[in-house]
Amino acid sequence: MFRRQFLSLALAGTVAATLSAGLSAPVAAADDFIIVQSTTSTQNSGLFDHLLPIFTDKTGIEVRVVAVGTGQAIKNAANGDGDVLFVHARPAEEKFVAAGHGVKRHDVMYNDFVIVGPPSDPAGIAGSSDIVNALTKIASTKAPFASRGDDSGTNKAELRLWKDAGIDVGEASGDWYRETGSGMGATLNTGTGMGAYIMTDRATWIAFGNKGDYEIAVEGDNRMFNQYGIILVNAEKHPNVKSELGKSFVDWVISEDGQSAIANYKVDGQQLFFPNAPAGS
C-alpha cells in the first residue's frame, strides 16, 4: 500500500515539478529581447558577436539570433517566428515584403562571393576574375564542385551564376556537381575534403578555421556582389512581433553608429563587411 502511494505521489510530483521548472524559466526572463532570423554567414564570421553587445549596451535590448540558411530564415519569419529578418537574397527579400510579411527592406552592407579551390587547380581557373568563364571551365573539365544545395542566399546566387554561364547543373548533380544540402561551413568541410571548388562568401571564408591548403581561385567579378538587407517583420500580419524593439534594432543597424560598427569588424586585419545603408535612412 505504501509503495503504491509512494509511486503515484512521486509520479505526480515529478511531472509537476519538472514542468514548472521548465516552464517558469522563459517567463522569469526579461521580455526585453527580440529574435532575429539571420544567416550562417553573419553568425559564423563573428559579426554578431561584435555587433550585438554594442547595441545591447546602448539600448538594453537583448538580441537573440537564429542563424540558418536564408531560405529557412525567410520561411521562419513568414511564420511570424522572429521580429527582424537579416539575410542576403534581395529578390526573395522583396517578395517577403510584397507578401506583407515585412514592413520595409533596407540595404545594410555587402561583401562578395569567392570561389575557393585546391592548389592543384584541376579546372585551371586560379587567378581569374571572370566568374562565368571560370564556371564554364569547371563544367567542361568536370572538376568537382560542391554546392550548398539548400536554397540559402549563397546557393541562390550560385545558381544564378550557373544560369548566366548557360550550364544546367541539375544534369551533373551527383556527378561532378555535388549538392551537400547543408550550411556554408559544413559545405566547406565537405568540399575541401573531396578536392572540390566551392563558392562561399568572403566573410565566412576568412573566418573559417579548416581551410587546409585551399586558396581563393576566383574573385573580383561584379557579378559576385553579395548584398545584405534587413527587414522588420510586419506586426499587422504577425501580431506577436515586437515592433518597437525590432524597429530600434533595424534603425540602429542602418544608422551611422551601426554602420561604423560593421565597418570596424575585422578578422586578421581584414574588413569582412562593407556598410552601404543609404545615408539618413
Residues that bind other proteins (CB under 8 A): 1, 3-4, 7, 11, 14-15, 18-19, 21-23, 25-26, 35, 40, 43-44, 49, 64-67, 76, 79-81, 183-186, 188-189, 207-211, 238, 240
Q: Which is nearer to other proteins, 36 or 157 (CB)?
A: 36
Q: Which residue is listed with cell 544564378?
A: 160
Q: Which is nearer to other proteins, 36 or 131 (CB)?
A: 36
For residues 126 and 115, give the distance between their C-alpha atoms in angstroms, rounded to a whole number.
Answer: 9
* Cα 265 from chain centroid (whole Å): 17
Nearest distance from C-beta of residue 98 to other proteins, angstroms: 19
Nearest distance from C-beta of residue 20 to other proteins, angstroms: 10
CA 66-272-269 angle, 5° bins: 130
How far are the Cα atoms of 74, 78, 152, 239 from residue 98, in angstroms, in the given order? 13, 12, 20, 18
Nearest distance from C-beta of residue 201 to other proteins, angstroms: 14
Nearest distance from C-beta of residue 92 to other proteins, angstroms: 18
Q: Which is nearer to other proteins, 4 or 171 (CB)?
A: 4
Which H/E stretch holds residue 251? helix 243-253
For residues 62 and 50, give the distance between their C-alpha atoms in angstroms, rounded to a whole number.
Answer: 14
Torsion of CA 95, 87, 223, 169, to 10 degrees: -80
Nearest distance from C-beta of residue 11 to other proteins, angstroms: 5
Q: Which is nearer to other proteins, 26 or 280 (CB)?
A: 26
Nearest distance from C-beta of residue 257 to other proteins, angstroms: 22
Q: Which is nearer to other proteins, 11 or 98 (CB)?
A: 11
Residue type (1 letter), 276: N
Q: Find the length of the chain.
A: 281
Which one-letter DSSP state was computed for residue 222? G
Q: Which is nearer to other proteins, 165 or 207 (CB)?
A: 207
Count of Cβ atoms closer than 10 Å to residue 168 Cβ? 11
Torsion of CA 207, 194, 149, 51, to 10 degrees: -10
Cell of 134: 571560370
Nearest distance from C-beta of residue 107 to other proteins, angstroms: 26
Residues 182-204: b if buried by 16+ CB within 10 A, e if exposed? bbbbebbbbbbeebbbbbbbbbb
Nearest distance from C-beta of residue 197 to other proteins, angstroms: 17
Q: Which is nearer to other proteins, 91 or 209 (CB)?
A: 209
Q: Which is nearer to other proteins, 52 or 143 (CB)?
A: 52
